[in-house]
Amino acid sequence: MILKDKTLQNAVSPTAKAGQKQEQDVAFFLRRAFKGHKQVYVINDFKFTHNDETAQIDHLIVYTYGFVLIESKSIKGDVKVNDLGEWTRSLNSKWAGMASPIKQVELQQKLLREMLHANRESILGKLLGIKQQSFGMRCWDNVCAVSSSAVIDRESMPNDVSKQLVKSEFLVDKLSEIMKLKTYSITKLNPFDTRPDFNDDELKSITSFLMAQLGDKGIVGTVVKQEVAPTPIKVEASADIILQCKSCGEKSDYSTQHGRYGYFIKCNKCETNTSMKIPCISCTSKQTKVYKKKKTYTLNCSDCEQSIELIK
């Protein structure tokens, strides 16, 4: 199921246009393969903020047994990776170094895991009635999807990098190999596959939480499309998802305060102060400002012109 389509940007430079084209190609293959799939959820252009750190995942897959992060990379010419994991590519017969997309997606995965772990009880605990350990026991995989025109030198490439690197047209095959999705009959024939899985309610809770980070209401199955110049709208979001103590993660036991640097919440448990001025949950812009009217605190974004009620 596609929860969020690829967001088109006003790309100007040839590099930006090529990068967007590659992401569109990957999104196309994902849509063709998983549009109606009930065990696989796809979020394209997933931007989120946690602990004052922001990350953007080109394509995020949530499925029965875990998560797959996909980094799209537009590469023309030859690609080589040495034993130290350092990347080089050729362009017009000239070789140059490039940042490792594998390392980039590893950092994205780390922040995503931290965010899910910090919110694990609200995401999963309420469904089962017991405290969840973490998301750590689930399957976590990273894939780098490069342009079909790239020439990959796999002979000199470290094996672990080669396993994560795939051309766009082979991406779905790679994902099938990674996810190993099972039907009921296959499960009966292979009782030795003991991977812990998410049930339908847990998948809906996880994806609803993730979509809430984008400013969506978290309705599974809704495709989110962002306009280049949206009209001002009011985004409804639960305060227990947006505001929490930056030290202990407390989401409700706090008092509102105003100081030299604006409005903030003071945790009644650990007495830590946390600013209400957070990045926009819709576009992740930091150009935000908090306004108070009676007992209502509203976060306004000057970039996308959306407003979010933090506290009523």
Contact assessment for residue 3 and residue 61, using Cβ atoms and an 8 Å cutoff? no
**Cα–Cα distance measured from residue 184 to residue 182, given in angstroms and rounded to the nearest whole number:** 7
Report pLDDT for 219: 43
Report pLDDT for 178: 95
Give 215's DSSP letter: T
Contact assessment for residue 246 and residue 50, using Cβ atoms and an 8 Å cutoff? no
Contact assessment for residue 182 and residue 190, using Cβ atoms and an 8 Å cutoff? yes
For 117-143, letters b (16+ CB in 10 Å) and e give bbbbebbbeeeeeeebeebeebbebbb
**Cα–Cα distance measured from residue 176 to residue 37, given in angstroms and rounded to the nearest whole number:** 13
pLDDT tens for the chain, 312 residues long, are: 999 998 777 666 777 788 888 999 999 999 999 998 989 999 999 999 999 999 999 999 999 999 999 999 998 889 999 999 999 988 778 889 999 999 999 999 999 999 999 998 888 865 445 455 568 789 999 999 999 888 999 998 999 999 999 999 999 999 999 999 876 444 444 566 778 888 898 999 999 999 999 874 444 444 444 333 333 334 444 434 468 888 888 888 889 988 877 888 999 999 899 998 888 776 677 778 888 888 888 888 776 667 788 887
Report pLDDT for 262: 87
Report pLDDT for 11: 64
> Where are the domains positioned within the chain?
2-212, 234-311
Report pLDDT for 84: 92
Q: What angle (nearest 5°) sits at the alpha carbon of residue 290, between those of residues 211 and 110?
A: 40
